[in-house]
Chains A and B, each alone.
Chain A
């Protein structure tokens, strides 16, 4: 059973548009990570957020961790075709040996 729900499940936009992906849970996590996965490859870590309310920026990507550490969002500004992929959030709890609980995933397609 997945404890992290992502929305939307699928997003198809044109180059230059902005988008936001949401990751919601009823559980509190000690930290949350965002990954991007391309077809036929494993997930690659984008960012880790640890503190409630934390905002991190990675070029055109902005990540936010909710105050209660139950939810997170990923905002992409001026999307590019290279942003296409499956975006996954993953929660970590202290004392679980870094075991990841992944979200349901958001598939993003950016077209010219």
Chain B
């Protein structure tokens, strides 16, 4: 069990650029979640997948954000035309349906200049 891994750990980009983050969940977990956390605050839910199906999206997820989980394993989160307000830690978590324990990755810290 290698845990939830996220890549990259840090990303610095210029405003207007596109960025993509990857999350590899724990292998037998069928649910995968994305959260966003700004400095000093608690994480906020963005979206979640059950296998390859994206079942819920938060209102926080504007049209510039898209998430995929094509084969029900790893997931990607893309932000198009980044804005300074997108600067945050993006956390991924996974669990097995029916259990309320989510395992979090270490996150990707995005800085938009």
The answer to whether A92 touches B45, judged by C-beta atoms less than 8 angstroms apart, is no
**Residue from A9, A86, A101, A105 within 8 A of B45 (CB atoms):** A101
The answer to whether B40 touches A48, judged by C-beta atoms less than 8 angstroms apart, is no
Contact with B along A77-106 (1 / 0, CB 8 A): 000000000101010100001111111110
Q: Which of B65-73, B76-84, B93-101 contacts A (4 or more CB under 8 A)?
A: B93-101
Report the separation of the CA atoms of residues A79 and B55 in the bound assembly, to the nearest whole angstrom: 41
Interface size on A, residues (CB 8 A): 27
The answer to whether B100 touches A48, judged by C-beta atoms less than 8 angstroms apart, is yes
With a cutoff of 8 Å between Cβ atoms, the chain B residues found around residue A107 in the complex are 40
The answer to whether A45 touches B101, judged by C-beta atoms less than 8 angstroms apart, is yes
Contact with A along B86-107 (1 / 0, CB 8 A): 0000010101010111101111
Is the interface on chain B under 10, 10 to 19, 20 to 34, or 35 or more residues?
Answer: 20 to 34
**Residue from B45, B93, B97 within 8 A of A42 (CB atoms):** B93
Q: Is A64 an interface residue (CB 8 A)?
A: no
The answer to whether B107 touches A97, judged by C-beta atoms less than 8 angstroms apart, is no
Report the separation of the CA atoms of residues A59 and B99 in the bound assembly, to the nearest whole angstrom: 24
Report the separation of the CA atoms of residues A9 and B39 in the bound assembly, to the nearest whole angstrom: 13
Q: Is A44 an interface residue (CB 8 A)?
A: yes
In the complex, the number of residue pairs spanning A and B with C-beta atoms less than 8 Å apart equals 65
- Given A48-B101, A98-B31, A99-B33, is A41 in contact with B41 using a C-beta cutoff of 8 Å? no
Contact with B along A6-36 (1 / 0, CB 8 A): 1001000000000000000000000101000
Report the separation of the CA atoms of residues A97 and B91 in the bound assembly, to the nearest whole angstrom: 17
With a cutoff of 8 Å between Cβ atoms, the chain A residues found around residue B95 in the complex are 98
Smallest CB-CB separation from B42: which chain A residue? A102
The answer to whether A40 touches B45, judged by C-beta atoms less than 8 angstroms apart, is no
Q: Is B26 an interface residue (CB 8 A)?
A: no
Report the separation of the CA atoms of residues A2 and B60 in the bound assembly, to the nearest whole angstrom: 12
Report the separation of the CA atoms of residues A81 and B1 in the bound assembly, to the nearest whole angstrom: 29
Kindly list 7 other residue pairs between chains A and B, CB separation below 8 angstroms, not including A2-B44, A42-B105, A45-B102: A42-B91, A42-B107, A48-B100, A97-B55, A100-B102, A101-B45, A104-B41
